[in-house]
């Protein structure tokens, strides 16, 4: 993080104005919403790492166990000498499982919006795998920034964590279509997807008893206060998360606990009591849903792995020929 708010480099200034524009547009709309990617500033990323350790948040440990168990099969399917491209790499604990399972890996290219995360991850990986070529790409994984991956190697994408669940179905399809182009005709994608299950179990995963998820959601207010000179009173808003069985998704909001006015980047916004700012969707899929999603994005499911309780799925998707 920058020590002084007066000394921002060019990239930080760009990030700051992107955040401001997105927040102002989001607060101006009738259904107030702020894109989920802005939850991940340094503090938000640290809180998310804490979420992953919570007893109620089964996703991370379940997916990691599935990957541990099936990394060998993933390695065999991918074959030797491919390039591994990770979308939204985070702290890359899971990537190591693949890096170690892939023979003669030509390259590892993590894509992440957080420069800090990316640099730290790249440094650790280079230290631990001195012969591995690591080419970090600082970008929004949705943007599919030109990757400048020189290698002609076959491309294996990796999109773990059920991050795809943050995307509404149309966006999830467009993500997959773009990923498919990037990964090319002979490419494949290892995708982690959270499964539909007992709504109570889902509810608890997003309403943990330690309040870490609430802190993660409300950190967005802190970030606006710090970066946009906003005046949110954190005690006057609450985290709200519930499962909507019709949409098949967790919905997350910041709810105003009273009628109040807030200044953000010099503009005033009024909140009614109970008025909400939407921050996240977390879509849950069943096998038919995963199948339909894969097909809509130009992939076919080559293999599905789940845990015994069927909480989470890791699918190996192969690109299908496109006209
Ligand atoms: C990173 C999008 C997969 O939806 O479970 C966790 C984010 N938000 N708790 C999820 C999240 C609140 C997470 N994803």
Helices within the chain (DSSP H only): 10-28, 42-51, 58-78, 93-101, 115-128, 169-183, 199-205, 212-227, 287-296
Closest CA to 250 of 36, 27, 41: 36
Instruction: Compute CA 68 distance to the chain's CA centroid, rounded to the nearest angstrom.
Output: 20
The reply to whether ligand 1 has any atom less than 6 angstroms from the CB of 62 is no
Q: How many Å lie between the centroid of ligand 1 and the Cα of residue 58?
A: 11
The reply to whether ligand 1 has any atom less than 6 angstroms from the CB of 282 is yes
Q: Check residue 320 and report its DSSP letter.
A: P
Q: Are 254 and 217 in contact (CB under 8 A)?
A: yes
Q: How many Å lie between the centroid of ligand 1 and the Cα of residue 163?
A: 7
Q: Give per-residue pLDDT as tens, 86-102.
A: 998 766 779 999 999 99
Q: How many Å lie between the centroid of ligand 1 and the Cα of residue 282?
A: 6
Q: Whose CA is nearest to atom 5 of ligand 1?
A: 282
Q: How many Å lie between the centroid of ligand 1 and the Cα of residue 51?
A: 9
The reply to whether ligand 1 has any atom less than 6 angstroms from the CB of 59 is yes
Four-residue CA torsion sign, 75, 76, 81, 85: negative
The reply to whether ligand 1 has any atom less than 6 angstroms from the CB of 217 is no
Could you tell me what percent of the chain has a pLDDT over 90?
A: 83
Model-level pTM? 0.94
Choosing from 44, 48, 195 the residue with most ligand 1 atoms within 8 A of its CB, the one to mutate for a pocket test is 48
Q: Give per-residue pLDDT as tens, 191-244.
A: 999 999 999 999 999 999 999 999 999 999 999 999 999 999 999 999 999 999
Closest CA to 176 of 19, 49, 299: 299
What is the distance between the alpha carbons of residues 322 and 299, in angstroms, rounded to a whole number?
10
DSSP helix/strand/coil, 148: coil
Q: Are 285 and 277 in contact (CB under 8 A)?
A: no
Across 23-37, 68-82, 114-128, 193-207, least confident range: 114-128
């Amino acid at each position: 993080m920058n020590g002084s708010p007066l000394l921002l480099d060019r990239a930080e200034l760009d990030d700051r104005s992107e955040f401001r524009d997105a927040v102002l547009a989001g607060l101006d709309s009738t259904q107030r919403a702020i894109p989920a990617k802005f939850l991940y500033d340094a503090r938000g990323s640290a809180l998310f790492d804490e979420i992953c350790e919570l007893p109620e948040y089964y996703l991370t440990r379940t997916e990691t166990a599935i990957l541990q168990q099936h990394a060998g099969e993933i390695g065999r399917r991918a074959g030797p000498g491919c390039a591994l491209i990770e979308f939204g790499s985070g702290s890359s604990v899971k990537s190591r499982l693949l890096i170690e399972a892939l023979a003669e890996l030509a390259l590892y290219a993590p894509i992440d919006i957080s420069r800090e995360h990316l640099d730290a991850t790249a440094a650790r990986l280079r230290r631990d795998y001195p012969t591995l070529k690591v080419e970090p790409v600082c970008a929004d994984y949705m943007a599919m920034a030109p990757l400048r991956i020189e290698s002609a190697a076959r491309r294996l994408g990796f999109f773990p964590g059920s991050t795809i669940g943050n995307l509404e179905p149309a966006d999830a399809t467009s993500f997959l279509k773009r990923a498919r182009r990037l990964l090319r005709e002979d490419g494949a994608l290892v995708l982690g997807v959270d499964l539909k299950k007992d709504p109570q179990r889902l509810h608890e995963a997003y309403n943990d008893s330690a309040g870490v998820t609430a802190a993660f959601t409300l950190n967005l207010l802190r970030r606006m206060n710090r970066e946009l000179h906003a005046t949110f009173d954190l005690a006057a808003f609450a985290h709200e998360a519930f499962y909507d069985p019709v949409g098949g998704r967790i919905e997350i909001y910041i709810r105003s606990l009273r009628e109040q006015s807030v200044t953000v980047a010099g503009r005033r916004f009024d909140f009614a009591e109970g008025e909400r700012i939407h921050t996240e969707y977390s879509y849950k899929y069943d096998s038919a849903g995963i199948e339909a999603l894969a097909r809509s994005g130009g992939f076919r499911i080559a293999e599905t792995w789940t845990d015994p309780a069927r909480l989470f799925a890791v699918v190996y998707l192969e690109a299908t020929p496109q006209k």
